[in-house]
A and B are shown apart, each in its own frame.
Chain A
Amino acid sequence: SQQGEEDPQALSIQEGENATMNCSYKTSINNLQWYRQNSGRGLVHLILIRSNEREKHSGRLRVTLDTSKKSSSLLITASRAADTASYFCATRSTGNQFYFGTGTSLTVIP
């Protein structure tokens, strides 16, 4: 299986705190993407980081990538209750298939 792994599986924090989730993957990549999924809904693309990038920011999101360790992290700063969702990393194969990580379920307590 090319599925990656994420940790923690579940994370519960207070509103205003930062949330960090990690992703490890197995194959060589051109880029890695992070998605958000609200319960029972489709995917929302958050951010893409290319293999030659080490860090990328988008609003309250900060993504890092370490290709030598085949790992990435997603940091959400100043979390809000509306950030409650599942977050998945995804790597894209040369055939354009997406292989998703196991996901982190984030709960932000108001």
Chain B
Amino acid sequence: GAVVSQHPSWVICKSGTSVKIECRSLDFQATTMFWYRQFPKQSLMLMATSNEGSKATYEQGVEKDKFLINHASLTLSTLTVTSAHPEDSSFYICSAQTGAGNTIYFGEGSWLTVV
């Protein structure tokens, strides 16, 4: 079946640095990808929707200059957390939508710890 891969699964970075998380659709072309954030013991919150070749649409309250999303190809979207702070530490999950049938697949998530 379709698989969405996230990399890295775990990342630790220092405050003030930037970190990039990749979301890949391994065996299908994803016209749209979504990024979610989840704090411990809380629900998933949609951050942004990215369409291949265009700018991402951010949910209210999500800083687009802080969370840079690039969807340069039909199989890859990246989320870059810029100038990371400890409060950015969270679990980030992406999902990808196939063009046909609009099926959505979720990645396994990426743990970010900012120290």
Answer whether residue B104 sits at the interface, using C-beta atoms and an 8 A cutoff.
yes
Tell me, rounded to whole Å, the shortest Cβ–Cβ distance linking A25 to chain B: 12
Interface size for A (C-beta < 8 A) is: 18
A8 to B17, CA, bound (A): 39
Interface size for B (C-beta < 8 A) is: 21
A88 to B41, CA, bound (A): 12
B106 to chain A: closest residue by CB: A43
Answer whether residue B32 sits at the interface, using C-beta atoms and an 8 A cutoff.
yes
Answer whether residue A41 sits at the interface, using C-beta atoms and an 8 A cutoff.
yes
Instruction: Please determine whether A98 and B34 come into contact, CB atoms closer than 8 angstroms.
Output: yes
Prevailing SS type, chain B contact patch: strand
Residue A97 contacts which of B34, B41, B42, B91 (CB distance < 8 angstroms)? B34
Contacts A40-B111, A43-B106: A96 and B43 contacting too (C-beta < 8 A)?
no
Cβ contacts A to B, 27 pairs, < 8 Å: A3-B43, A40-B91, A40-B109, A41-B109, A42-B93, A42-B106, A42-B107, A42-B108, A43-B44, A43-B106, A45-B106, A95-B49, A96-B32, A96-B102, A96-B104, A97-B34, A98-B36, A98-B44, A98-B46, A98-B104, A100-B36, A100-B44, A100-B45, A101-B43, A102-B42, A102-B43, A103-B42
How many contacts A-B (CB < 8 Å)? 46
A54 to B32, CA, bound (A): 30
Answer whether residue A34 sits at the interface, using C-beta atoms and an 8 A cutoff.
no
Residue B49 contacts which of A42, A97, A101, A102 (CB distance < 8 angstroms)? A97
> Chain B contacts of A100 at CB under 8 A?
36, 43-45
Instruction: Please determine whether A42 and B46 come into contact, CB atoms closer than 8 angstroms.
Output: no
Residue B108 contacts which of A41, A45, A88, A97 (CB distance < 8 angstroms)? A41
> Chain A contacts of B102 at CB under 8 A?
96
Instruction: Please determine whether B104 and A88 come into contact, CB atoms closer than 8 angstroms.
Output: no
> Chain A contacts of B75 at CB under 8 A?
none
Answer whether residue B77 sits at the interface, using C-beta atoms and an 8 A cutoff.
no
A102 to B109, CA, bound (A): 18
